[in-house]
Structure 1
Amino acid sequence: MDITDDKLLKIALVTSLIGLIGLILFTPSIEVKEVKIEDVTRSMIDEEVSIDCVVSEVKSSRSGSSYFLTINDGTGQITLIIFESQVAQMQTNNLEIEDFKDKKVNVVGTVTEYNGEMEIVLSSGDSLKIIE
């Protein structure tokens, strides 16, 4: 049996389609884990988590491009880091970081550690939402 360029192209196309369909069918949806601040530990570093909390304090970095929010959910408090790119994304949606102070919010971010303290880094500009 001769394998021509035409047959090879058809085999590659069919194999690619089967692979794409398999990825769509068998890839589980990614769900963000909802946690309480007291449950955030070093074992969760690099995990994406969701926390319902209140923003108790808003501070900007020395350069003014990043922000550090202290969030509290009644079980503890932790620092939320918002980098310049997320601030810019929020500002394009007409949101100012200071508007979140003393508001109940939902935060989606990645657990990190800095100087021995656990922190949350905001995933995107859309990952901080007022819920009340």
Structure 2
Amino acid sequence: MSPILITVARILVVVLFVVSGAGKVMNPGGVGAAVAGKGLPYPQVLAYLAIAAELGLGLLIALGFYARAAALLLAVFTAATIVLFHDFWHMTGDALRQNQIHAMKNLSIIGGLLMICAAGPGRLAINQR
């Protein structure tokens, strides 16, 4: 497969995380409030971990630097967001539909991340581990 195509695909898989993480950097208090709203402990700590996961791991994958490990960690993080934030099985009406869509989208993204984890970042990467 084309090294350019693999690189473009690797970057496209994480665009959502990098943009979302950058937005969270501008409002960590709001992220903490959302985490607290779910009843999770240490909301500010978890907010900064979410920022680090989205922005930090997303950038590592985009650059192809320890992309396999970063993709696995980001897949675990994304699975946790399904369980903790998009728990549509506890919802009804519009909330159910919206969160089910987000959960299915996240499952698709997890699939892409696991492909990066399995196949590696391709030849056009900072390292190919």
Higher helix share: 2
**TM-score tier after normalising by the smaller chain length:** under 0.3
Q: Which is strand-richer, 1 or 2?
A: 1
Which structure has the bigger radius of gyration? 1
| Greater RCO (Cα-Cα under 8 Å, separation 6 or more) | 2
